[in-house]
Structure 1
Amino acid sequence: MATAAEQKVGGLRVSELAAGARTARGSRACKHLRSGDMIPANVYGHKEPNEQISIRREDFMRWFRSGQRIAHLMVGDRRVTGLVKEVQWDALGDTVIHADFTRISLSERIHMRIPVVTIGIPKGLAGGTFDHIMKEIDVEGPAGEIPEKIEIHVGEMVIGDMVRVKDIPTLPASCKALNVKPDAVVVAVHAQKIVAAAEPAVEETAEPEVVGKAKEGEGEDAGEEKGEKPEKGDKPEKKEKAEKGDKGDKKK
Structure 2
Amino acid sequence: MDEIVLTAATGRTIGTRPSRRLRTGGGIPAVVYGLEQDPVTVTVEWPDLRRAITTDAGLNAVIQLEIDGKRQLSIVKDIQRHPVRRDVLHVDFIRIDPDRAVVVDVPIVFVGEAEEVINNDGMVDQNMFALTIRSTPANIPTEIEIDISALTIGDSLRVADLVLPQGVTTEVDPEDAVAVAMITRSTLDAIAAEEEAAAAALAAELAEEGEEGVEGEEGAEASGDDGEADASDE
Q: TM-score, normalised by structure 2?
A: 0.69
Per-residue deviation, residues 89-144 of structure 1 (Å, max 9, x unmatched): 22424211111112111221221122111123222221243232211211122232
How far has the Cα of 1:73 moved from its partner?
0.9
Whether the aligned pair in 2 keeps the contact of 1:6 and 1:16 (CA below 8 Å) is no
**Contact 2:23 2:89 survives alignment (8 Å):** yes
After superposition, the C-alpha distances for 1:10-50 in whole angstroms (9 at most, x for unaligned) are xxxxx222222224444443233212101011111222222
Match of 2:50 among 61, 80, 91: 61
Quick one: structure 1 residues 162 and 101, their matched pair in 2 at CA, closer, same or farther if it must change by over 3 Å?
same
1:153 aligns with 2:147: yes
Higher helix share: 2
Percent identity over the alignment is 25
| Structure 2 runs not aligned, ≥5 long | 208-234
Match of 1:110 in 2: 102
Q: What residue is the counterpart of 1:168 in the other structure? A: 162
Match of 1:212 in 2: none
Query: Are the aligned partners of 2:63 and 2:74 in contact in 1 as well (CA < 8 Å)?
Result: yes
Change in 2 beyond 3 A, CA 1:88/1:190: closer
Whole-angstrom CA distance in 2 between matches of 1:158 and 1:45: 43
Matching residue's letter, 1:197: E
- CA spacing shift, 1:26–1:183, aligned 2, 3 Å: closer
The equivalent of 1:88 in structure 2 is 80
Once residues 184 and 24 of structure 1 are traced to their aligned partners in structure 2, the CA distance between those partners, rounded to angstroms, is 45
Structure 2 Cα separation of the partners of residues 34 and 65 of structure 1? 20
1:59 aligned counterpart, secondary structure: helix
- Equivalence for 2:195: 197
Alignment counterpart, residue 184 of structure 1, candidates 176, 179, 184 = 176
Counterpart of 1:21 in structure 2: which amino acid?
A: T
Pick the aligned partner of 1:6 from 2, 10, 31.
2
Quick one: structure 1 residues 185 and 97, their matched pair in 2 at CA, closer, same or farther if it must change by over 3 Å? closer
- How far 1:65 sits from its partner (Å)? 4.3
SS at the partner of 1:61?
A: helix
Aligned residues: 191
Name 2:136's counterpart in structure 1: 142
Q: 1:49 aligns with which of 16, 38, 41?
A: 38
What SS does the aligned partner of 1:60 have?
A: helix
Computed over aligned residues only, the root mean square deviation of the Cα atoms, in angstroms, reads: 2.9
TM-score (norm. length: structure 1): 0.65
Work out whether residues 157 and 189 of structure 1, in 8 Å CA contact, stay in contact via their aligned partners in 2. Answer: no
